[in-house]
Amino acid sequence: MEGSLITDLCTPAMVVDVDVVKRNAKRMMERCQGVGVQLRPHMKTHKTLECADIMTGGSRRCIVVSTLAEACFFADHGFDDILYAYSIPFDKVERCAALSERLSLFQVLLDHPDALELLRKRPLREGRLWHVWLKLDCGNGRAGILHSEPDALLLAQAVSETEGVELTGVYAHCGNTYNCKGVVQIQAVAQETTTFVLQFMEQLKAVGITCKSSIGSTPSCSHPVKDMAQLSEVHPGNYVFYDVQQSLIGSCGLEDVAVRVLTRVIGHCPHRNQLLIDCGWAGLSHDGAGKLPTGNAMIEGHPNLRLLSMTQEHGRVEPMSGKLDYSAYPLGTLLTLIPYHSCATALMHPVYHVHSAGRLVGKWTPTRGW
Ligand SMILES: Cc1ncc(COP(=O)(O)O)c(C=O)c1O
């Protein structure tokens, strides 16, 4: 209920500090303006209209999504200029065609000639063009055609020469920044990815092709390098919530993390020197398990506690050392978890409780599915 305290919520509950969200969004906008590059924020972390409005400054334009469900959800609510930045799945071409025919700008991504052939075989109505981004792998090691492969240039040429299709841009996601520690390492990966993409753009230019370019991840866009000004766009997303992982990489400080999971003590287990809490992986996700000295999350204000393990609906908490003082944690005690990976944690929740200074101001309901 609006106006009440978050501490009155039934647990487990995900709470979002709207003031921190707005600050994170504003800083990223200002940072991109400072560099001189267009920000195209990714929606995958929160998947909500309210947060999308904050990230786009209310324009409801120029976003990236990771699923077609997100694309449809945002399109149904007046968003446009949407880039579906996922190698176009063969079972979803018809749905992508419908969005391309409906929106003023719906963009897809591919990294294989077979996908291009699929688009060629499904011309859009009323002379519309498929707007296609070529996905490059610049060291991330996930989707994309390797930037240095001659096939990458050949595919770009094929896209630009195919009837009914336009080469809109070249897209590289520098997810390898997630292996970094500190600004120097982050910027080295950001620079390398930028350089690879700019070199590719030069090769395109040499064969008479010009199009946009985009790189990004939350670490690289939190600490951009100057050469990113030569790109058309950047596409970070997690920065709006941040998380413990980002603070360890060096993207942000813990004070920038906008999300928490509230949980309560539901059991005392003196025979194991443990507490039980009502948050298992269904409320936090298992992402990050074993990556922190404090276990699966940080327990705010209790550096002496570790979230040792989780089953679906239970968490086991133990002291970092020594004997647990159970009188300090009576049943019902509220504990606050700072998630390791906010995208994964958010995905576990059907609703986010939004607050300002601990008082509820609303609820955000994310879209789900693919
Ligand atoms: C293709 C793609 N683009 C952009 C992003 C956004 O990056 P980040 O989560 O680091 O903000 C992601 C994140 O996984 C992604 O997979």
Q: What is the pLDDT of residue 182?
A: 98
Q: Tens digit of pLDDT for each residue in 306-330? A: 999 999 999 999 999 999 999 999 9
Task: Tell me what the pLDDT averaged over the chain comes to.
Answer: 97
Residue 130 Cα to ligand 1 midpoint, Å, equals: 23
Residue 97 Cα to ligand 1 midpoint, Å, equals: 24
260, 302, 341, 368 from 346: Cα distances, Å: 10, 23, 9, 11
Q: Same CATH fold, 254-364 and 36-239?
A: no
Beta bridge partners of 136: 145
For residue 85 and ligand 1, the question of a CB distance below 6 A is answered with: yes
For the domain spanning 36-239, the CATH number is 3.20.20.10
C-beta of residue 273 within 8 angstroms of C-beta of residue 317: no
Residue located nearest, by CA, to atom 15 of ligand 1:
173
Q: Residue 108 and residue 119: Cα distance in Å, rounded?
A: 10
Q: What is the pLDDT of residue 289?
A: 85
Global confidence as pTM: 0.97
Name the nearest CA neighbour of 131 among 105, 161, 104. 105
Residue 111 Cα to ligand 1 midpoint, Å, equals: 17
For residue 236 and ligand 1, the question of a CB distance below 6 A is answered with: yes
Q: What is the pLDDT of residue 1?
A: 80
Name the nearest CA neighbour of 62 among 85, 37, 76, 79. 79
Q: Residue 166 and residue 130: Cα distance in Å, rounded?
A: 6
For residue 162 and ligand 1, the question of a CB distance below 6 A is answered with: no
Residue 65 Cα to ligand 1 midpoint, Å, equals: 9
163, 168, 197 from 160: Cα distances, Å: 8, 9, 17
Look up tokens 């159970």; give the residue.
Answer: 326
**Sequence ranges of the domains in the chain:** 36-239, 254-364
What six digits make up the tokens of 161?
A: 């020469």
For residue 218 and ligand 1, the question of a CB distance below 6 A is answered with: yes
Beta bridge partners of 360: 355
Q: What is the pLDDT of residue 237?
A: 98
Q: What is the pLDDT of residue 147?
A: 94
Q: Residue 171 and residue 163: Cα distance in Å, rounded?
A: 21
Residue 173 Cα to ligand 1 midpoint, Å, equals: 6
For the chain, residues with pLDDT lower than 50 are none
Cβ within 8 Å of residue 268, ≥6 positions away: 275, 276, 326, 329, 331
- Of ligand 1's atoms, which has the minimum distance to the CA of residue 236? 11
Strands 130-137, 145-146: pairing kind: parallel
Task: Report which secondary-structure segment, H or E, holds 132.
Answer: strand 130-137
For 254-364, which CATH superfamily applies? D-serine dehydratase-like domain (2.40.37.20)
